Structure 1
Amino acid sequence: MRWNVWVDDWQMQCCGEPFHVGSTVSWTLTPADRDWLTQVLGEETAATIDWGEEHHSDPSPGRRQVEARVTGIAAVHARMEPLPGENAYHPVDGVLSPRTSADGWDPDAGDLKFVGYVVTLAAGP
């Protein structure tokens, strides 16, 4: 079984453990926020991400615990746009860049801000 999982930059920075391709991870997964992912990565890429890695939310019926091997990592950098009528920004137009490891602290890339990772996990034989 394979899953593509969204990992927020701030979740990794706060409570995450660094990992690399080939690592075995034990994660709590929640259903992915497809609306948000569509804004950042576009509809086609967002549709491939079913789960988000989670450290902080309350238990919910959709949560699942997995132990799986990391088979792929892509850092996501995005252009930031102001939210209408607010003093806040949200990411849009994300770019995926392959990585062999992740620690939550990828540097920004020019005017693109690091916002997280798309991680592919494989469970079972």
Structure 2
Amino acid sequence: MALWRIKYDDWQMECCGEPFSVGDEVRWRLALRGPDAGAEPETWEDSYSELERAAGDGRLLRGPGVTALYAGKPVTRPVGLLAVETHGPGPGDVPETVGTVRSIQVVTEGYAETRPGSRTYEPVAGERWLRAVGTCPKWFSDEARPDRRGRGYRRDETGVLVELETPGGPASPARPGE
């Protein structure tokens, strides 16, 4: 058995997702997000997985019990954050990954205005909090906080981080998925 960490974004769940619980078997299409696709190492590196290219298709990646789409720039070593993808490029072409949910954590991330008064927010590197739950919520919340250094600041629940157990041998060493 292999254990993988997978992000299920809030908007994906709120749009088309079905809440699930620890112990449930799920079937998801996955994508691997690299640092250039919103999986910044300062925030997500502890949840990165390393996969191998599938034979004959440069966009498909595989690991024990897992298949994922990689739509980023070509890399020699595909490492990043696995994420449920129901809307992105080619999800219908990606075989479903089937596994058993072993844990669920609601992800909260910090966001700051790009400049004072802009009302445009960007993630604050390294600001991520996890809260264990037994069932994935259907809806997520946002919380405005006091300004930081004159810039607006907020904490948003951005989805859940799931540990998914899949059949197959251990995944790549020294990475989640072991």
Query: What TM-score range do you get, normalising by the shorter chain?
Result: 0.7 to 0.9
Gaps of 5+ in 2: 50-79, 146-154, 169-178
| 2:48 corresponds to | 47
- Tell me how far 1:45 sits from its aligned partner: 2.3
Q: 4+ residue stretches of structure 1 with deviation over 4 A?
A: 84-87
In structure 1, how many angstroms separate the alpha carbons of the residues matched to 2:26 and 2:161? Answer: 14
- Contact 1:75–1:97 (Cα < 8 Å) also in 2: yes
With the length of structure 2 as denominator, give the TM-score of the two structures: 0.58
- Contact 1:34–1:47 (Cα < 8 Å) also in 2: no
Report the RMSD for the aligned CA atoms in angstroms.
2.8
| 1:37 corresponds to | 39
Counterpart code for 2:28: W
- Contact 1:104–1:116 (Cα < 8 Å) also in 2: no
Counterparts of 1:1-125 in structure 2 under 5 Å? 1-35=2-36, 36-38=38-40, 42=43, 44-47=45-48, 50-59=81-90, 63-83=94-114, 87-92=119-124, 93-108=127-142, 111=145, 112-124=155-167
- Contact 2:110–2:123 (Cα < 8 Å) also in 1: yes
**Cα distance change on mapping 1:101 and 1:69 into 2, 3 Å:** same
Deviations 1:4-55 (A, max 9, x none): 101110000001110010011110001124452336x625424356411011
Counting matched residue pairs gives 123
Task: Report the structure number with the largest CA radius of gyration.
Answer: 2
Question: What is the identity percentage for the equivalent residue pairs of Structure 1 and Structure 2?
Answer: 27
**Cα distance change on mapping 1:115 and 1:70 into 2, 3 Å:** same
SS of equivalent to 1:37:
coil
With the length of structure 1 as denominator, give the TM-score of the two structures: 0.80
In structure 2, how many angstroms separate the alpha carbons of the residues matched to 1:90 and 1:46? Answer: 20
